Amino acid sequence: MPKPRSTTVVRKRGPDREVALVGPGRLGQALGYLLSRAGVKIGWVAARRAPAAREAARFIGAGQPVAIGSAEIAQAKVLLITTSDSALPRVARKLAGRRESWRGSVVLHTSGAWPAGGAESVLQPFRERGAEAAALHPLQTVPRREAGVRNLIGCFWAIEGDPAAVRLARQWVRALGGTSFTLPANRKPSYHAAAVIACAGVVTLMDSARRLLAGCGVRPRRAGEMLQGFVAETAKNFALLGPRRALTGPVMRGDWRTLREHLRALRRRTPDLVPLYQELLRAMVHIAGRRAPRRRSRTGQAPLSAL
């Protein structure tokens, strides 16, 4: 069983109200594990399939495994819904219908895309029955539940929703040594797009770089090792120096000839990467504050801004 980092000491104890954790995927299991050890009482772990519920409860080390929609969940004073974004609206409607009144209860979800507060709340079926609702989303990658146990401690969390639910979400974040920031409900799609660009987007770019390195004879495993340190240092420079000073390479130097050579090589060997590289170049030129050449070169090549 994985354990939180030994350097992190949980000082806050969660409320005595029992929590029903619903839809325990990678994030749900990792969060349930950490909250349980922070003193939050996990009473039930609910999944669509009984084996999944039992396995999640075993990993978390707490909670009675039950089916989603079971009568036991309706006893919970706090619901923590960690299903996929696509399943969240359906699950919320189903669970809300289990009780005529949810007054005095708190319902939380962990989606970065769906709002919990405001007129467009995905948890509106609970709010209409008197519940307070909020969302807490970690700005962190959780590729496996074990990684989540490590990564969710001390990370940043976006929180929005109703006051009482927001207070509970912030208490949980503090218990995990994290930092919360308030997000307007109507900005959730933009926030989530930023998260996708910073995480999945970087993975996509690294895979594109790996493909090009493979064409140069670099083995995939070695390419991964090379890119890991390279990208980590770049991220560090971005945080310390800002985007313009962290941006290096031919765009910052105004070396348009080298960039044309890049595009020529891509068209010859990996033509599917040309549109991606072109869009990246346009973004780099903007960050660098430069103006790409607009006239044809002496060799008759198109201006960079038209490539």
Q: Tokens for 199? A: 């995480």
Confidence label for 304 from pLDDT (cuts 50, 70 and 90)? low
Percent of the chain residues past pLDDT 90, beyond the cut:
87
Percent of the chain residues past pLDDT 70, beyond the cut:
90
Q: Does the structure show a pLDDT above 70 at 296?
A: no
Higher pLDDT, 57 or 296: 57
Cα–Cα distances (Å) from 103 to 42, 81, 99, 121, 129, in that order, read 20, 18, 10, 17, 7
Q: What integer pLDDT is reported at residue 9 of this predicted model?
A: 37
Mean pLDDT of 149-164: 98
Q: What integer pLDDT is reported at residue 11 of this predicted model?
A: 44
Closest C-alpha among 110, 106, 117, 116 to residue 78? 106
Q: What integer pLDDT is reported at residue 1 of this predicted model?
A: 45
Structural domains of the chain sorted by starting position, each given as residue range(s) with its CATH number in brackets: 19-183 (3.40.50.720), 192-306 (1.10.1040.20)
Confidence label for 8 from pLDDT (cuts 50, 70 and 90)? very low
DSSP letters, 71-137, are: GGGGG-SEEEE---TTTHHHHHHHHHTT-S--TT-EEEE--SSS-SSSTT-TTHHHHTTT-EEEEEE
> Tens digit of pLDDT for each residue in 106-121?
999 999 999 999 999 9
Q: Tokens for 288? A: 């660098």
Return d(Cα 135, Cα 165) in angstroms, integer: 8
- pLDDT averaged over the chain? 92
Confidence label for 6 from pLDDT (cuts 50, 70 and 90)? very low
Query: 70 and 53 in contact (C-beta within 8 Å)?
Result: no
Confidence label for 205 from pLDDT (cuts 50, 70 and 90)? very high
Q: What integer pLDDT is reported at residue 69 of this predicted model?
A: 84
Q: Tokens for 64? A: 């009675």
Q: What integer pLDDT is reported at residue 2 of this predicted model?
A: 45
Instruction: Find the range with the poorest average confidence among 11-15, 31-35, 38-42, 89-93.
Output: 11-15
Q: Does the structure show a pLDDT above 60 at 299?
A: no
Q: At what angle do helices 220-241 and 202-215 cross, to 10 degrees?
A: 140
Q: What integer pLDDT is reported at residue 14 of this predicted model?
A: 45
Tokens 């010859």, residue?
A: 268
